């Protein structure tokens, strides 16, 4: 298939596909007429990249998954390098969750303290 068809089937743009190609994530094969040509395997690569990006992975973090698929594995997350990326991402998420819990706790304490004090300001004759 040509680049326009691949972009449409993958739900992306030809510009994005060219960018992935320049980053080495998408193969740069050309047909006899010089046009880029792609196959169903390339569509699988793109779907893997898009899914991971939807989960918050940056483009470089998708590389081990793409390489795993290119190596002939049925899934991009069955290789050791892919599993390592999953582990790192989970560690990042756990850290962010911890930070958010701490912020939530502080806001909850501030709210409880503020609600226990009598209102000190008025807006349009009404207490806030």
What residue ranges do the domains of the chain occupy? 3-115
Provide Rg for the chain, Cα atoms.
Answer: 24
pLDDT of 111 above 80: yes
The string of pLDDT tens digits covering residues 62-108 is 999 999 999 999 999 999 999 999 999 999 999 999 999 999 999 99
pTM above 0.85, yes or no: no
CATH architecture of 3-115: Orthogonal Bundle (1.10)
For 17, the token pair is 């596909």
> Taking residues 50-73, what's their average pLDDT?
95
Q: What is the pLDDT of residue 120?
A: 73
Burial class, 119, CB count within 10 angstroms (exposed 0-12 / middle 13-18 / buried 19+): exposed
Answer left, alpha or beta for residue 125, where phi above 0 means left and psi between -120 and 50 means alpha: left
């Amino acid at each position: 298939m040509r680049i326009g068809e691949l972009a449409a089937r993958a739900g992306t743009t030809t510009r994005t596909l060219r960018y992935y190609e320049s980053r080495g994530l998408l193969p740069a094969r050309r047909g006899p007429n010089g046009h880029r040509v792609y196959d169903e395997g390339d569509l699988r690569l793109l779907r893997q990249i898009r899914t991971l990006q939807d989960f918050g992975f940056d483009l470089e973090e998708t590389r081990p998954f793409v390489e795993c698929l290119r190596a002939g594995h049925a899934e991009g997350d069955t290789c050791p390098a892919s599993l390592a990326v999953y582990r790192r991402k989970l560690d990042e998420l756990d850290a962010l969750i911890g930070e958010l819990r701490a912020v939530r706790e502080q806001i909850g304490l501030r709210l409880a303290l503020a609600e226990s004090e009598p209102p000190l300001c008025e807006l349009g004759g009404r207490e806030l």
